[in-house]
Chains A and B, each alone.
Chain A
């Protein structure tokens, strides 16, 4: 929201396939984050990046990969190694006072069929 674009909104994947979720921002913020959301579990951090060409694993990075080749883009690849990929994925940037506030995209719902 407010300059953070996630695409597609809905995504279907066959088991065994990799799939890439897009997150683009035009707010010129350094820090970008990927979260996974499952019912009753809140948001869990997958990966984050605070500068181009650098990123860190979050709490549930296994089965996921990211890249940060450009400041405005932080794509997330869900690999076939992710055993339970069906979830709602949210991308966020940090801004506001001391970069403490998260601003979220609209999310991508991934379903494995």
Chain B
């Protein structure tokens, strides 16, 4: 079955340090992959997406992610974290149903804490 795994529940980094959030997916075909960010008590905002082509994709707020088919991974990175990046991050894969329906499957999320 299709699934998304985010193995880290919490990650703490110091402000200015680099960041990598892990995401692994299980999907038979070439996946459409997404990263979303959620501030406390808010909805989710799209950071970036991968459909095809260049495996390194750039997003908003200085984030990037790299698609690695051989590892079934789509890890999110940022070279220098700011205190305002503290939030919860969700990886997701897009699924087409046999009836032409479609939906997103989300990972369980990674909460990022930023030390001053």
Residues of A at the B interface (CB closer than 8 Å) are 1, 4, 31, 33, 35, 40-45, 48, 50, 56, 58, 88, 90, 92, 94, 97, 99-107, 109
Residues of B at the A interface (CB closer than 8 Å) are 6, 9, 32, 34, 36, 41-46, 49, 51, 90, 92, 94, 101-104, 106-109
Q: Please, which residues of chain A bring their CB within 8 A of the CB of B41?
A: 88, 107, 109
B44-A104 in contact (CB<8A): yes
A106-B49 in contact (CB<8A): no
A101-B42 in contact (CB<8A): no
> How many interface contacts (CB-CB < 8 Å) are there between A and B?
62
Interface of B is mostly: strand
Q: Please, which residues of chain B bring their CB within 8 A of the CB of A44?
A: 106
A104-B43 in contact (CB<8A): yes
Q: A107 to B88, alpha carbons, bound, how many Å?
A: 15
Which residue of A33, A103, A109 contacts B103 across the interface (Cβ within 8 Å)? Answer: A33
B34-A101 in contact (CB<8A): yes
